[in-house]
Amino acid sequence: MIKTDIAILGAGASGLFLASFLNEKDYLLIDHNQIPLKLKVSGGGKCNFTNEFVSPENYLGDKELIKKVLDNFSNRDVLRFFRDIKNKKIKNNQYFASSSNEIIKKLNKKKFLAEILSVEKDDNFIVHTSKGDVKANKVVVATGGISYKKLGATDIGYKIAKHFGHSVTAPLPALVGLSLQKEQFWMKNLSGISLKAKIEVEDKLFFDNILFSHRGITGPAVLNTSLYWKKGKIKCDFLPEYDIKKSNKTISNALPLPKRFIVEFLKAHNLKDMPINHSHKAINLLKNYLFAPAGNFGFDKAEVTKGGVDTDELDNLESKFVKNLFFIGEVVNITGELGGYNLQWCFSSAKYIEHSKNFAY
């Protein structure tokens, strides 16, 4: 049987980041993948690893805990950590590497390649894997969420949490496209078109691109909307920067919207392409388009999983029920918006437990 002080379950963003602060002889990273695949595909292969502005307001979950964790290791600290990565780019306040391989090269570590099956505790923890048992004094669950199964995601983290008596908030797809009800099927005819819009969802407002697709709507504004949407209606302003002036020009000539969008919109709502002066109904509808999405594109397309191990039952990310059992990264019930917030959470939560006095030996 392999013996280690710290068994880190999952060698993705959070597990690898934690390992980078530890002495190699003190931990064992266990993963069934050789490469951290989510990290590899993140940010379209360029890994949006943090944001210029990070606050608890960019996250869904326990704001007090998020603040503590971010205060302990902020976006500035992440930038400092990755300072030797060349050709970083900042776009819309998001920091990207020129390739996610650069981030992986900096973080990657030797790992024990095996499927994690379960964890038990006697005097020590025993991690059962497909390649035998691992005995450890501490266990860190860093096995991520369940979206993108094809990249190696499993629900093992939730299973381990439940086994030790923890509650797990139902996992749901987030940062994902939204599907449409019949009344909005006209949008499906706009596949490939994108435009800038404002979307209001719950008490959040996102001003960014919407991309129409044959399945529904996606793009940054929609992905962020999916994080906060809980059924019910959302409000779209398709003319967020349009200052309504009196004009005899027709809608299709005067409005700053793609022609195809206007044609489909007017057709779907039995409206005519009239001069702006006589188009109050159409303009009002375009500025306050209320509708309820049908659902979302599902876990296969979701960048993250919202829900996860309940933070009420964690004390500084350590289990309140089982000493020396920690949870970090996406497996925890804290989810960030689009823009580097999820990787920031992974890095900050990993650093947080490394820093906590309970983790010290």
Ligand X SMILES: Cc1cc2nc3c(=O)[nH]c(=O)nc-3n(C[C@H](O)[C@H](O)[C@H](O)COP(=O)(O)OP(=O)(O)OC[C@H]3O[C@@H](n4cnc5c(N)ncnc54)[C@H](O)[C@@H]3O)c2cc1C
- Output 77 or 115, the one with its CB closest to ligand X: 115
- Output 43 or 219, the one with its CB closest to ligand X: 43
- Output 153 or 236, the one with its CB closest to ligand X: 153
Q: Which residue has the tokens 């069934």?
A: 32
- Binding to ligand X (CB under 6 A) within 125-184 occurs at 142-144, 147-148, 152-154, 156
The CA-CA-CA angle for residues 206, 258, 222, to 5°, reads: 25
Edge-to-edge, what's the strand order for the sheet holding 94-96?
48-51, 94-96, 89-91
- The residue from 6, 32, 127, 138 that contacts ligand X (CB under 6 A) is 32
Quick check: 206 binds ligand X (CB under 6 A)? no
Helix (H) or strand (E) holding 100: helix 100-107
* Residues 308, 168 contacting (CB under 8 angstroms): yes
Quick check: 15 binds ligand X (CB under 6 A)? yes
- The residue from 56, 171, 293, 329 that contacts ligand X (CB under 6 A) is 329
Residues 89-128: x where in contact with ligand X by CB under 6 A, - otherwise, as a string: --------------------------xx------------
Residue nearest to ligand X (CB): 12
**Total residues belonging to the chain:** 361
Quick check: 61 binds ligand X (CB under 6 A)? no
Q: How far is the CB of 123 from ligand X (least distance, A)?
A: 24
* Residues 228, 60 contacting (CB under 8 angstroms): yes
Quick check: 303 binds ligand X (CB under 6 A)? yes
CA 147 to centroid of chain Cα atoms:
10
Q: How far is the CB of 268 from ligand X (least distance, A)?
A: 32
Q: How far is the CB of 118 from ligand X (least distance, A)?
A: 10
Quick check: 342 binds ligand X (CB under 6 A)? yes
Quick check: 346 binds ligand X (CB under 6 A)? yes
Q: How far is the CB of 194 from ligand X (least distance, A)?
A: 18
- DSSP state string for 227-255: HH--SS-EEEES-TT------SSBHHHHS
Q: How far is the CB of 146 from ligand X (least distance, A)?
A: 9
Residue 90, helix vs strand vs coil:
strand
- Output 140 or 199, the one with its CB closest to ligand X: 140
* Residues 118, 54 contacting (CB under 8 angstroms): no
Establish how many alpha carbons lie within 13 A of residue 291's alpha carbon, considering only the half-sphere containing its beta carbon. 22
**DSSP conformational letter for 359:** T
- Count of residues interacting with ligand X (CB under 6 A): 38
Q: Report the C-alpha gap between 10 and 4 in whole angstroms.
A: 15
Tell me the window of 161-169, 250-258, 337-345, 353-361 that interacts with ligand X (CB under 6 A).
337-345
Listed in sequence order, the residues at least 6 apart from 35 whose beta carbon sits closer than 8 Å to its beta carbon are 104, 108
- The residue from 12, 177, 216, 220 that contacts ligand X (CB under 6 A) is 12
Residue 277, helix vs strand vs coil:
helix
Q: Report the C-alpha gap between 158 and 163 in whole angstroms.
A: 8
- The residue from 7, 43, 217, 255 that contacts ligand X (CB under 6 A) is 43
Quick check: 330 binds ligand X (CB under 6 A)? yes
As a dihedral over the C-alpha atoms of residue 342, residue 48, residue 190, residue 268, rounded to 10 degrees, the angle is 40
Which residues of this protein are in contact with ligand X, per CB under 6 A?
10-15, 31-33, 36, 38-39, 41-43, 47-48, 115-116, 142-144, 147-148, 152-154, 156, 303-304, 329-331, 340-343, 346
